[in-house]
Amino acid sequence: MTRAAAHLRMTTAVVLGVALGAACEKTDDSSAVDSAAPGRIEIDVRPEAAAALATISADGLAADIRILASDEFEGRAPATPGEEKTIAYLREEFAAIGLQPGNGDSWFQTVPMIAITAEEVSRLVVSGEEGVGNYTYQQDFMAWTKRVSEAEEVTESELVFVGYGVVAPEYGWNDYEGVDVEGKTVVMLVNDPGYATEDPNFFSGRTMTYYGRWTYKFEEAARQGAAAAFVVHETAPAGYPWEVVSGSWSGPQFDLVRPDDNMSRVRIEGWLTVETARNVFARAGLDYDSLKASASSGKFEALPMGLQASLSIHNSFARSDSRNVLATLPGSDRADEYVIYSAHWDHLGRDPSLEGDQIFNGAHDNATGTAGLLELARAFASQERSPSRSILFLAVTAEEQGLLGSEHYAANPVFGLEKTVALINMDGLNNYGPTEDIIVVGMGMSELDDYLEAAAATQGRSLTPDTESEKGYYYRSDQFSFAKRGVPGLYTDEGTVSREHGPEWMMEQKAAYTAERYHKPADEYSEDWDLRGAVEDLQLLFLVGERLANGTEFPNWREGSEFRAIRDSTLAGGS
């Protein structure tokens, strides 16, 4: 089934512009790469690297995408026949390319998972001096448990409003200071204080930080000893409407199988609609909007609300195993140091309840990124001499279930994170044609921006910050699993300005995809796709990886980043 053995590869170079042509005339002595410091990165495109770039082609990408997004692969859901076909294809392709298994003598890393389904959720009962309020599941609130337990409940648990629920030492911020929430139920605002103020010097202004993600808020509540935790939903700061909340957190909730069965988590996690929150606050004689404003003032103090909450959940479980796929290109000099390219191979599978098309083919999300991973592997393997450092090509599972495959690898790395130089992640490649720019999701967070900027200069292109940075997309794809353990991750998106059609046309194409095809059976490969833009973007990512793999430095996060201290500790030999 290997495509590499089935057809000849295109080797016609894609034009990279005058800058690349000039760069190719330089000496192939790569010693200069070690002297460049972050902030003044140089990309010296050696003739051998230029030849490798030319192997990345639209035809090669399309061939892999057609296969991975075909109905035969059944939507690539974890723990289904679609998974078996997908990982077999990737193993065969990586082997045909000439790579080595990335987990000892195995191409796979087992990812044990569990699906927890809330079969019965009671009403949320909030009592106080003003009487009792009863709130309806899915309509007024969402609730679940990450604990592997048949039943979890809180009974007359004291409610405490903790602002944004953030403890951020680098910002001198602690919403839990002076309050004991042990065994209590905390109520928190969505996003982080910077979003509310829009002050670019406060947190990151409208750009969401790690502290704005609901995942962090629940984790921090557990560290503080809370019994339950609720985030108040508002559409603008959350980045999605209530229907996304009620749909995403109902039905089976997947997680990794952990040694403690998640008993370190709070008993119950959930969301409140903003209308419910206003009603609950009013029962306590409090004004939600006034307290919301004070929560970002820098003078906020957590507030016991004088109310008690009761709620119970009964669960069922299903355990399964899925697999990450790992392939390595060993380095020539510093083989114990790794640059990682990643993409998630999984999608949503099939839904037999649908009429007509039941398969979520996931062509753009993320057959494109997985195909890009194979193209990059072929490009690097085509060079006569491997880079100094090793390269790991990591195709992860269960991204759509909450970044579970990348989380499992980052928590159980085959190659130590202290020796991991950086990660370059691909989640949806450009199928709209060449662009004048490339979006950097999380731009300004790490020194990897400097490497990409230098690479983009070889194509006469520029970097553009994420146009919806308040939605926290950086924390919603697989690089985040590595980032929160200190490893800088580069995550790009298609540019904003089509070279042939302009910015408005590009915006229309993206909006149409989101409205009509994203996470729908309609996300299928089309022969009308223009993959020239994807080829250019992959060539940039190749140049960044090539530069890192032949350098000696370990890129870091910018000063002030929430991940900087972790990276510094890891590189210094800490844990």
Task: Give the tokens for residue 434.
Answer: 């060449």
CB 128, CB 308: distance < 8 Å:
yes
The whole-angstrom separation of Cα 291 and Cα 187 is: 12
pLDDT for 26: 34
Residues 459 and 507 in one domain: yes
φ and ψ at 354, to 5 degrees? -80, 145
Q: Is residue 192 part of a domain?
A: yes
Q: Which of 317, 339, 371 is the endpoint of a domain?
A: 317
Residue pair 300/165 in contact (Cβ under 8 Å)? The answer is: no
We report the CATH number of the domain holding residue 216 as 3.50.30.30
CB 487 within 8 A of CB 213: no
pTM of the model: 0.86
CA distance 298 to 21: 53
pLDDT at 135: 98
pLDDT of residue 464: 97
C-beta atoms surrounding 51 within 10 Å: 16
Closest C-alpha to 148, from 313, 321, 323, 322: 313
Nearest to 531 by CA among 116, 61, 56, 28: 61
Pairwise CA distance, residues 525 & 146, whole Å: 36
Decide: 479 and 427 in contact? Cβ < 8 Å: no
Burial (0-12, 13-18, 19+ Cβ within 10 Å), 260: exposed
- pLDDT of the residue at 566: 95
All residues at 6 or more sequence positions from 46 whose CB lies less than 8 Å from its CB, including other chains:
24, 26, 28, 30
CB atoms within 10 A of CB 537: 27
Closest CA to 371 of 344, 351, 408, 336: 344
What's the confidence (pLDDT) of residue 575?
59
Nearest to 150 by CA among 384, 387, 29, 312: 312
Does some domain include residue 104?
no
Mutual orientation of helices 81-97 and 58-68 as an angle, nearest 10°?
150
Residues linked to residue 313 through DSSP beta bridges, in sequence order: 121, 152
Say which residues have a Cβ less than 8 Å from residue 456's Cβ, sequence separation at least 6.
Answer: 437, 438, 462, 463, 540
Residues 400 and 311 placed together within one structural domain of the fold: no
State the Cα–Cα distance between residues 421 and 418, nearest whole angstrom. Answer: 8
Rounded Cα distance, 127 and 117, in Å:
27
CA distances from 467 to 272, 498, 554 (A): 28, 15, 28
Rounded distance, CA 182 to CA 176, Å?
Answer: 11
> Considering the domain boundaries, does residue 269 fall inside one?
yes
List C-alpha distances in Å: 100 to 190, 201, 333, 543.
44, 46, 17, 22
3 located within any domain: no
Domain membership of residue 8 (yes or no) is no
Residues 310, 352 share a domain:
no
Half-sphere exposure of residue 150: CA atoms within 13 angstroms, side-chain side: 0
460: Cα within 13 Å, side-chain hemisphere: 12
In a shared domain, residues 441 and 398: yes
Show pLDDT as tens, one digit a residue, over the chain (575 residues). Answer: 444 433 323 333 333 333 333 333 333 333 333 333 445 788 878 888 899 999 999 999 999 999 999 999 999 999 999 999 999 999 999 999 999 999 999 999 999 999 999 999 999 999 998 889 999 999 999 999 999 999 999 999 999 999 999 999 989 999 999 999 999 999 999 999 999 888 888 898 888 999 999 999 999 999 999 999 999 999 999 988 998 899 888 888 889 999 999 999 999 999 999 999 999 999 999 999 999 999 999 889 999 999 999 999 999 999 999 999 999 999 999 999 999 999 999 999 999 989 999 999 999 999 999 999 999 999 999 999 999 999 999 999 999 999 999 999 999 999 999 999 999 999 999 999 999 999 999 999 999 999 999 999 999 999 999 988 888 899 999 999 999 999 999 999 999 999 999 999 999 999 999 889 998 999 999 999 999 999 999 999 999 999 999 999 999 999 989 899 999 999 998 75
The answer to whether the Cα torsion of 228, 234, 238, 244 is positive or negative is: positive
Is 395 within a domain?
Answer: yes
72 backbone φψ class: left, alpha, beta (φ>0; ψ -120 to 50)? alpha
Any bridge partners for residue 189, and if so which? 232
CA–CA distances in Å: residue 336 to residues 339, 415, 452, 486, 568: 10, 8, 24, 18, 19
> Looking at the DSSP assignment, which residues form a beta bridge with residue 312?
153
**What CATH number is associated with residue 528?**
3.40.630.10
Burial class (CB in 10 A: 0-12, 13-18, 19+), 471: buried
Cβ(136)–Cβ(272) below 8 Å: no
Domain limit, last residue, from 252, 283, 317:
317
Does 456 lie in the same domain as 522?
A: yes
Residues 277 and 425 in one domain: no
Which of 296, 317, 338 is the last residue before a domain boundary?
A: 317
368 and 305 housed in the same domain: no
Q: Quick one: pLDDT at residue 27?
A: 33
Say how many residues make up the chain: 575
Domain that holds residue 273: 115-317
Contact 189, 231 (CB under 8 A): yes
Residue 203, in any domain of the structure: yes
Residues 71 and 164 in one domain: no
Instruction: List C-alpha distances in Å: 7 to 1, 3, 461.
Output: 12, 7, 32
If DSSP codes are grouped into helix, strand and coil, which group holds residue 503? helix
- Judge if 286 and 379 occupy the same domain: no
**Domain assignment of residue 302, yes or no:** yes
Nearest CA-CA partner of 163 in 180, 177, 142: 177
Q: Is the domain of 306 the same as that of 433?
A: no
For 122-169, strand residue ranges (E) read 124-128, 131-135, 141-144, 151-161, 167-168
Pairwise CA distance, residues 96 & 99, whole Å: 8
Instruction: Answer yes or no: do 238 and 293 share one domain.
Output: yes
Does one domain contain both 361 and 438? yes
Tally of domains within the chain: 2
